[in-house]
A = this chain, B = another copy of it.
């Protein structure tokens, strides 16, 4: 092969950025490609002398095996992909952290694809990822409206294994979620235990599964206590931001002036609600208790510090990747996956001063 020597000679010219190949190394070391391959893959059947000689050539040429070629042969890319929305929000970004950690742990590289809106078309993203032969996909776009109806239309078994995040469990698909309904229930039960009876809610955008679940949790907790989930206790939001916390709080105080607690569907909403409560002179928590959802780092420093619901989103990401890995292994060995492939985690109540008066430092009182 005449190309060989010429390439080898070029390698150290600064204008040549073609990476060295197995052939280059083999020629420089005066052995066959298979021998080099043995060294690279740490196989034992090789004499120490040649191993050293080959290693020297590898170092000299700064040789790196081409994973693309390897993947072709092995029919394995060792890559996963996550398709996500909103990584500039706390929750989604935490989930990605968990996904990346576990993927790395299991030896996968991770492709990241983002959509601007949960309802954006994702066909092209999917096409590209399939063409790249990713071995599995984590679907981290929140379920909004019917943006997952394609699961039925498009036959999932023509895709690589997929794990869905944050949705209702369904037969035949793998889902990893936080139990949002339970989280909301915990929040409202906590308020009930404190003796509150007029408990309002500022919802998230109700087309979102998470928002509607939290709403349902609020309703169920009130029902348990024999209280009515009257419409005058509800303020709806178009998104999760603090703006709707402000609007929602104003609306609630107008609709139900005697309200004594509010469950805000996100910490950001809670922040907006707190601001309005202060402006309108309602003391928190004495006259009005407020609970949020997310446990963002800032929430502990709100004024007063916010009682909220902690979601184990890093865990969700990690479990999603483990699940995906299991599905991949199962499909490869043509066996059925062994275990239950959907997981639902119960979030945890974090009690702070926005609901529990005792938690307020003395100097924190206003009066």
Which A residues are within 8 Å of any B CB, using their own CB? 14-15, 17-19, 62, 64-69, 71-72, 75, 77, 82, 87-88, 90, 93-94, 96-97, 100-101, 104, 109-114, 127-133, 157-158, 241-242, 245-246, 268, 271-272, 274-275, 278-281, 297-298, 300-301, 303, 331, 334, 361, 363-364, 366
Q: Are B100 and A113 in contact (CB under 8 A)?
A: yes
Q: Are B87 and A114 in contact (CB under 8 A)?
A: no
Q: Are B275 and A303 in contact (CB under 8 A)?
A: yes
Q: Are A96 and B100 in contact (CB under 8 A)?
A: no
- Report if A97-B88 is in contact (Cβ < 8 Å); known contacts: A131-B65, A279-B363: yes
Q: Can you pick out 24 interface pairs between chain A and chain B where the beta carbons lie within 8 Å of each other? A: A14-B157, A64-B131, A65-B131, A66-B72, A68-B72, A68-B77, A68-B133, A82-B112, A87-B87, A88-B90, A100-B114, A101-B114, A104-B113, A110-B113, A111-B111, A112-B112, A241-B297, A245-B301, A268-B297, A271-B301, A274-B303, A275-B303, A279-B363, A281-B363
Chain B residue, CB-CB nearest to A243 = B301
Q: Which of B62, B272, B298 contacts A271 (CB 8 A)?
A: B298
Cα A129 to Cα B18 in complex, Å, equals: 15
Q: Are B93 and A17 in contact (CB under 8 A)?
A: no
Cα A133 to Cα B77 in complex, Å, equals: 13
Q: Are A15 and B100 in contact (CB under 8 A)?
A: no
Cα A66 to Cα B75 in complex, Å, equals: 11
Cα A84 to Cα B114 in complex, Å, equals: 16
Output the least CB separation between A16 and chain B (Å). 9
Contacts of A71 in B (CB 8 A): 68
- Report if A110-B109 is in contact (Cβ < 8 Å); known contacts: A15-B334, A300-B242: no
Contacts of A331 in B (CB 8 A): 17
